Chain A
Amino acid sequence: MKRPERLWLALAAAALVVLPWYGLEDTVDAVLALRPEAMPALGQAAFGGCFWLLPLLLAPALAGWGVARGRPRLLVAGGVIGIAWLALEGLAIIHRGWGWDFLSVLGPAPTQPALGWGALLFALSCAMLVAIGLARLGRCRGDVFVVAAILLTGLSILLFIGLPLLSVLASAVRDDAGHTDVSQFLHKLTDGSIWGFGCLHGGGACGSAWNSLAMALLVGVTSTALGLAFALVAVRTRVRMKSLLGLLSILPVITPPFVIGLALIILFGHAGMATVFLADHFDIPRSRWIYGLPGIAIAQTLAFTPIAYLVMAGVLQAVSPSMEEAAQTLRAGPWRTFRTVTWPLIRPGIANAFLIGFIESMADFGNPLMLGGNYTVLSTDIFFAVVGATHDQGRAAVLAIVLLVFTLSAFMAQRLWQEGRSFTSVSGKGDAGLHPPLPGGLKALCAAAVLPWIVLTVVVYGIILGGGFVVDFGRDNSLTLKYFLTAFSIEHGVGGWFLSGSAWSSFITTLELALVAMPFTAGLGLLTAWLLARQDFAGKGLFEFGTMMSFAIPGTVIGIAYILAFNVPPLELTGTGIILVLAFVFRNMPVGIRAGLASLSQLDRSLDEASLTLGARSFRTVRLVVLPIIRPAVITAMVYAFVRAVTAVSAVIFLTTAQYQLATVYIVGRADVGEDGMALVYSAALIVVMVAALGIIVLLVGRQRIGRRGLAAGNMGVGVA
C-alpha cells in the first residue's frame, strides 16, 4: 500500500516544477507562449528573483525521505511545513509589498501576484501527504480516506468560512480609519434600535433583534408544522394527489423569495386584488396589514415550508415500519402507535426542520425587504447599514454578530435536545413491513392545514406565472407578450439564430454556475454529515460549528466578507465565476449536512460495521452501503444546492460582475425600477426551467431503495416532484 503517497509526492513535485505558480488572467495562452510570468515555482525562484519560494522544496524532500525510509512522521512533517510556509510567505509578501507592517525593517519589499494552479495543487498534495502520514501512524484506524476527508473539509471550511468571517468581524471593532476602537463597538452593540422595547409600551417600535427573534420563532413553528402535515399526507396516506402535492410543495423553493412578496402585494396589498374585492363587495375597509410581521410570516412560511417538507418526508420514509408493526401487534391503536413510536422517531427531523426554518427566517432578506414595512429586522438592517446613506460597516458587523448569536444558540439548543438519544430504526436486520395508516383525527387535521395552503400557493403561483403575460395585474388584465419578448426573444440575423432578449445572458450564466456548484455542494455536505455522524476525531464540535456558521450568516455579510477576504493576493478570486461557485457551495452546504445527519441518525452503525468486518474500507462502505440507503438525503441535497444557487440574491449581489450577471440580481434590478411585468416573466421562466431540471436530477440519481413490500415501495418517489 505505498501507492498513494508516491502519487501525491509526485504531484507535489510537479506542482513546483511544472504548473505555473502564480495566477494569470489567461493561463492557457500564457503557458503556450512560454511567458515568464507563467513559470512554475522553481523557475520563479531561480530566474524571477522569488527566492522565498525555495523553502517549499523542503516539503517533497522530507516526504520523499519519509517514503523511502518508511517513516510516516516525515510525511506529516513535510506536508505541514509545505502548507505552513505557503501560507506564511503568501501573507507576508503581497502584491503591494509587505503584508505586515513590522516586516518593513527587512528593507524594501518584494511583491508577488496571487497564487495560481501550481500553488493550488501543491497545497492539495501537501494536505494529502499529511493525511496519509497520519493514517500510517494509526489515526482513524489507519483509514486514509477518513483522515483525508476530515483534513480537506476542515481546511476548506477554515479557508472559505472562517477566514471571510474573521475579516468581517474584525471590522466590527475597527473605525473608519482602520484603528481598533472598542468603546465604539460597545456603543453600537447596545444601541436602542437593536434592543429597544418600544412596542411593548405604546406606539413605538421594538428593536430589530427582538423583531427578528419573534419572526424566526413564528416562522420556524409554522413551517415545521405545515411541512410535517404535508409529509404525513404525502408519505402516509393514499391521497391521489401526491405528485401534485410534491410539485406544489417544491414550487416556493425554486422561486426567488422577492417575487413571492411581490405576488402577495398584488393579492393582499392596500390596492391588491383580494383587498379591493373585499372592500367593494363586503365593505371591509382596505388596510396595510400585509406590511409587517403578518406579511413576512406568510411569505416566509410559503417559502420555507417546502424545505421542512423535504426534510420530514425523507425522515418519515426512512422510519422502519417494523417498529410500528410491532406496536400494532401489541394492540396499540393508530393514535397510540403514532404518539409513542412514530413521533419519537421523527423527532430529529422535526428539530432539523425547525432549525432550518428558524435560521432561514433570521437570515432571509428578500421578504422583509418587500413586506417589512416599519417592522425592522436584522438582515435588512445589515444590508442598509452597508449600502445605506450612513455606510456604517462597523454597525453591520455588530448586527451580524447579534444575528449569529441567535442562530448559533438555536443550533446549540437543538443539539442539547437530541444529545444521547438513539433514533436508529433501519438496521441490518429484516426490514420488511408496511407503514400503518394515520390515525383518523390526525389525517383530518393534516388535510385541514394542507388544503387552504395549497389554495394560497396555487393563487400566488398563478400570479407569478401569469403576471408576466398581462399588462398590469389587477388594473389592466389584457394579455400581452411584450415582457416575454423583451426578455427572451430569439431573432434571426446575419449569422443565423441568436438570442436577442435582454435576459438571456444572465439566465444562462445562472444555470451554468448553479449546475457547477450542485455536485460540490451536495458532495461536501453529505461527506461532512457522514464524518460527523460516523467518525470521532479531535475538534469535531468545532468542525460542526464551522459548517453551521455560513448558514447562520445572512447572505449580504457573506458577500462583503468574500470581497474583503478574496479580493487581494494571496487569494484573488473576485470577478471570476469561481468566487460565485464557492459562495454557493459554502453557503448551501449546511442543508446537505442537515439532510445527511437526519438520515444517518436513523441508520444503524451495524451496517457500516458489517461492511468493514467483511474487509471493505471506508470509501467502499460509503459508496456501496451508506449512499444507496440515504438516497433521499442525496436528492434533497442536490436539489437544494441547485435551487438555492439559482435563487440566491443577497450573497451574490456584491459578487456579480458584467461577465457573471445572475438572474436574481437582474430580477431585483427590474423590480427596482417598477417593471413588475419583467420581474414576473423572468421568474416564471426560471421556475419552468428549474422544474424541468429537478425532474432530470431525480431521474439521474434515482429513488430510495429500501426493501419493503410492494405497496410501500410505490410511495418512494414522492419526496421530490
Chain B
Amino acid sequence: MIQTSTSIRLLAVAAVGAAWLAATPARAQIVVYCGVDEDWCRGMVTEFTKETGIRTDMTRMSNGEIYAKLRAEKDNPRGDIWWGGTGDPHLQAADDGLTEPYVSPMLPKLRDWAQKYAEVSKNRTVGVYLGALGFGYNTEELARMKVAAPACWTDLIKPEYHGEVQMADPNSSGTAWTVLATLVQLWGEDQAFDYLKKLHHNINEYTKAGAAPALAMGRGETLIGIAFQHDVIAVAKTGKPVQVVSPCEGTGYEIGAMSLIKGAHHMVEAKKFYEWALTPAAQALAPHFGSFQLPSNASLAPPPESPDLSKIKLINYDSAKFGSVAVRDHMLKRFNDEVKSLPR
C-alpha cells in the first residue's frame, strides 16, 4: 500500500540520517576563531597549515560574536586562539580572564602601539594590525548633488550634507565607540558632544553594525559614511565609486588583536600559530586578501594601498581609559540622553 511505503521511506531517510550523524569525522588539531573577513581568515589558516602541517579548523564571526561565544563556552572552551578583529572585545575578554597571558619572544620586534597593547592587557592580548578611523564619500552621489567633498570632521556638520551622513550607533558598534572616544580626545568632552549634537541633524541613520555605513555608501544609499579607512578602501576595491578621507584634524584608530583562549585544548599548537602570526611573512599576506591595515611587525612596510601613515594625523589614543566600563557607560548615557533623543 502507498501509505505503508511512505512510512517505510520516512524511516529509511531517518535511519540514513542517524547513520550519517554517527559518522562524525575526527576533530582538527587547532581551532581558530577569526574576527576579520572570510578571505583573510581563510588565507591565514591555509598558509599556516601549509607551513607547519598543523591542521586548522577556522570559524569566522564578527568580534562581538566571538566574545559572546567565548563567554558562553568559558567552562569548556572550543577554540584555541582568537586572531584578528578590533581590540576592545579582546581587552574585555582579558579583563574577564577569558584569555591566557603569554609573552612572545617576538614582542620587542613589534611596533610601539602593539607592545603597548600587550602591556595594557597584562600580556593577555597583543596588537597585530592598526586601522585608522576616517570617513568616505560616494563620488557619483557627490557629482549628482553638486556639493563639495568633505575633508575634515567639522565639514560633516555643514548644512549641505543634511540627511546625508551615516554612522554606526556606539551602543552596538565598536567602530562608533571609537568615533566617540576619538572626538572626545580631540576636543574635550563638552565640545565633542556639541559637535555630535550638530552632526545629529545631518545623520540619516545610526546603523547597528560598524561597517554598515561604508557598505551603504558603496551602494549610494548615503553620501558620506563614517567608518574605518580600511573598510572604505575594501568597498572601493569591489569597484564602487567611493573615496576615502582622512580627517584633517587628526583621527583615532583601532588595534586588531590576538589572544590565546584560556583552557584551550591545543595550547602548544595555538602558541605556534601565535608566533607565526606575528612574523613579517604572515602579516604580509593581508593585502592579498583585500585588507589594508598597518601590520604590527616593525620590519614590514605597510601595503601601498593602505592609507599613507605620514598623511594621517593619529591622535594619542588612550586605550586604557576608553576601554574601561565606567567611562563607556558615562559616555553612552550622555550620547543617548543628549544626542540620540534629539529630533532631527
Q: What is A's interface to B at a CB cutoff of 8 Å?
A: 25-28, 95-96, 176, 193, 198, 202-204, 265-266, 269-271, 288, 291, 369, 372-374, 380, 384, 386-391, 393, 471-472, 475-476, 502, 512, 515-520, 523, 560, 563-564, 567-568, 572, 574-578, 581, 623-624, 627-628, 653-654, 656-659, 666, 669-670, 672-676, 700-702
B3-18 to A contact mask, C-beta < 8 Å, 1/0: 1101101100110010
On whether the beta carbons of B238 and A515 are closer than 8 Å, the reply is no
Can you give 21 A-B contacts (C-beta < 8 A)?
A28-B23, A203-B342, A288-B163, A384-B172, A388-B173, A389-B172, A389-B328, A391-B71, A475-B220, A564-B72, A567-B73, A572-B76, A628-B2, A653-B61, A657-B59, A658-B56, A658-B59, A670-B38, A672-B211, A674-B215, A674-B238
Whether a CB of chain A sits under 8 angstroms from the CB of B239 is yes
Complex Cα distance, B340 from A204, in Å, reads 8
Complex Cα distance, B222 from A512, in Å, reads 40
B206-233 to A contact mask, C-beta < 8 Å, 1/0: 1011010011001111100000000000
Within 8 A of A (CB), among B63-91: 64-65, 67-69, 71-73, 75-76, 78, 88-89
**Nearest neighbor of A659 in chain B, beta-carbon distance:** B57
On whether the beta carbons of B343 and A96 are closer than 8 Å, the reply is no
Residue from B17, B62, B342 in contact with A520 in the complex, judged by beta carbons closer than 8 Å: B17
For A516, the chain B residues whose CB sits under 8 A away are 17, 20-21
Which of B25-33, B99-107, B119-127 forms part of the interface with chain A?
B25-33
**Nearest neighbor of B290 in chain A, beta-carbon distance:** A673
Complex Cα distance, B1 from A628, in Å, reads 11
**Nearest neighbor of B237 in chain A, beta-carbon distance:** A674
For B343, the chain A residues whose CB sits under 8 A away are 202-204
Whether a CB of chain A sits under 8 angstroms from the CB of B310 is no
Q: How far is the CB of A512 from chain B (nearest CB, A)?
A: 7
Counting from the closest, the 4 A-B pairs by CB-CB distance are A203-B343, A271-B220, A387-B64, A388-B172
On whether the beta carbons of B21 and A270 are closer than 8 Å, the reply is no
Q: A198-B341, A388-B64 are in contact. Are A578 and B21 (CB under 8 A)?
A: yes
On whether the beta carbons of A575 and B172 are closer than 8 Å, the reply is no
Residue from A176, A380, A654, A702 in contact with B69 in the complex, judged by beta carbons closer than 8 Å: A654
**Nearest neighbor of B15 in chain A, beta-carbon distance:** A519
Q: A563-B73, A576-B24 are in contact. Are A391 and B220 (CB under 8 A)?
A: no
For B215, the chain A residues whose CB sits under 8 A away are 674
Whether a CB of chain A sits under 8 angstroms from the CB of B141 is yes
Residue from B3, B56, B172 in contact with A628 in the complex, judged by beta carbons closer than 8 Å: B3
Q: A203-B342, A471-B239, A623-B4 are in contact. Are A581 and B21 (CB under 8 A)?
A: yes
For A266, the chain B residues whose CB sits under 8 A away are 219
Complex Cα distance, B3 from A628, in Å, reads 7
**Nearest neighbor of A562 in chain B, beta-carbon distance:** B72
Residue from B1, B6, B68, B328 in contact with A654 in the complex, judged by beta carbons closer than 8 Å: B68
Q: A388-B172, A393-B68, A672-B211 are in contact. Are A472 and B221 (CB under 8 A)?
A: no
Complex Cα distance, B64 from A80, in Å, reads 43
Within 8 A of A (CB), among B143-171: 163, 170-171
On whether the beta carbons of A27 and B22 are closer than 8 Å, the reply is yes
On whether the beta carbons of A567 and B78 are closer than 8 Å, the reply is yes
Q: How far is the CB of B316 from chain A (nearest CB, A)?
A: 22
Residue from B31, B209, B234 in contact with A674 in the complex, judged by beta carbons closer than 8 Å: B234
B310-340 to A contact mask, C-beta < 8 Å, 1/0: 0000000000000000001000100010000
For A96, the chain B residues whose CB sits under 8 A away are 75
Task: Give me 6 other A-B pairs in contact (C-beta within 8 A), A519-B17, A560-B72, A563-B72 excluded.
Answer: A26-B26, A198-B341, A388-B208, A518-B13, A627-B7, A674-B238
On whether the beta carbons of B88 and A577 are closer than 8 Å, the reply is no
Q: A374-B205, A581-B21, A700-B9 are in contact. Are A519 and B14 (CB under 8 A)?
A: yes
Whether a CB of chain A sits under 8 angstroms from the CB of B60 is yes
Q: How far is the CB of A139 from chain B (nearest CB, A)?
A: 25
For A393, the chain B residues whose CB sits under 8 A away are 68, 71
Complex Cα distance, B96 from A387, in Å, reads 16
For A578, the chain B residues whose CB sits under 8 A away are 21, 24
On whether the beta carbons of A669 and B38 are closer than 8 Å, the reply is yes
Q: How far is the CB of A701 from chain B (nearest CB, A)?
A: 7
Whether a CB of chain A sits under 8 angstroms from the CB of B307 is no
Q: How far is the CB of B203 from chain A (nearest CB, A)?
A: 9
With a 10 A CB-CB cut-off, give which of A96, A568, A658 has the most chain B CB atoms. A658
For B204, the chain A residues whose CB sits under 8 A away are 288
Residue from A384, A523, A577, A674 in contact with B10 in the complex, judged by beta carbons closer than 8 Å: A523
On whether the beta carbons of B61 and A577 are closer than 8 Å, the reply is no
Whether a CB of chain A sits under 8 angstroms from the CB of B109 is no
Complex Cα distance, B211 from A656, in Å, reads 22
Whether a CB of chain A sits under 8 angstroms from the CB of B92 is yes
Whether a CB of chain A sits under 8 angstroms from the CB of B272 is no
Complex Cα distance, B9 from A700, in Å, reads 9
On whether the beta carbons of B2 and A673 are closer than 8 Å, the reply is no
For A567, the chain B residues whose CB sits under 8 A away are 72-73, 75-76, 78
On whether the beta carbons of A623 and B7 are closer than 8 Å, the reply is yes
Whether a CB of chain A sits under 8 angstroms from the CB of B193 is no
For A674, the chain B residues whose CB sits under 8 A away are 214-215, 218, 234-235, 238, 240
**Nearest neighbor of A291 in chain B, beta-carbon distance:** B205
For B328, the chain A residues whose CB sits under 8 A away are 389-390
On whether the beta carbons of A386 and B58 are closer than 8 Å, the reply is no
For B27, the chain A residues whose CB sits under 8 A away are 25, 575
Complex Cα distance, B69 from A393, in Å, reads 11
Q: How far is the CB of B339 from chain A (nearest CB, A)?
A: 12
**Nearest neighbor of B22 in chain A, beta-carbon distance:** A27
Q: A516-B20, A658-B28 are in contact. Are A380 and B208 (CB under 8 A)?
A: yes
Q: A389-B170, A674-B215 are in contact. Are A95 and B64 (CB under 8 A)?
A: no
Complex Cα distance, B71 from A393, in Å, reads 10
For A670, the chain B residues whose CB sits under 8 A away are 38
On whether the beta carbons of B68 and A387 are closer than 8 Å, the reply is yes
